[in-house]
């Protein structure tokens, strides 16, 4: 509300913000500034974890699932889902160049908010694919055929 919107000419009374209010406002600003770098750190962890899991899965594939699962869906699906998670991790951390007018704060804000939303969606897809990969691996282990000694 500004003075132009007031119907009568009385003075608007207000109270100065408390120290606690100022603390939370500053904390919110710092959190907003750090959110993209925090997401980038999460993407680095996802890329490392996905690469490790994919390497271990492919390296120990025969010992984990045996020869009978060579090209079955139970064997291929976990690896594909980990690859999907890896791809979303790489897409999420990849820098995106766009020309932004640095003299226009609203344009900078829109750009940062759109990048934050995009990176957040990539992180959701990466984590969802990784969880589904684990579920697919567990289903593959459960559905292993019983072989005699």
Q: What is the pLDDT along the chain (149 residues), one digit of tens a residue?
A: 454 555 555 666 778 888 887 887 788 788 877 888 888 899 999 999 999 988 888 777 666 666 655 667 777 888 899 999 999 999 999 887 778 777 888 888 888 888 889 999 999 999 999 999 989 888 877 776 655 44
Q: Is 76 exposed, middle or buried (0-12, 13-18, 19+ CB in 10 A)?
A: middle
**Domain regions of the chain by residue span:** 36-142
Which secondary-structure segment (H or E) carries 64?
helix 61-65
Q: Read off the pTM.
A: 0.72
DSSP 110-146: HHHHHHHHHHHHHHHHHHHHHHHHHHHHHHHHHTPPP
Residues 74 and 139: beta-carbon distance below 8 Å: yes
- Please give the Cα distance from 106 to 94 (Å, whole number): 24
């Amino acid at each position: 509300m500004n003075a132009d919107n007031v119907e009568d000419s009385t003075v608007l009374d207000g109270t100065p913000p408390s120290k606690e209010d100022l603390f939370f406002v500053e904390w919110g600003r710092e959190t907003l500034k750090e959110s993209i770098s925090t997401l980038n750190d999460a993407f680095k962890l996802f890329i490392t974890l996905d690469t490790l899991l994919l390497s271990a899965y492919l390296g120990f594939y025969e010992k984990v699932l045996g020869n009978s699962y060579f090209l079955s869906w139970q064997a291929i699906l976990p690896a594909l889902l980990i690859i999907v998670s890896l791809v979303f991790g790489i897409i999420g951390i990849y820098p995106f160049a766009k020309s932004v007018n640095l003299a226009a704060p609203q344009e900078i804000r829109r750009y940062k908010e759109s990048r934050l939303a995009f990176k957040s969606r990539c992180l959701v897809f990466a984590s969802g694919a990784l969880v589904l990969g684990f579920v697919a691996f567990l289903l593959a282990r459960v559905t292993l055929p019983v072989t005699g000694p």
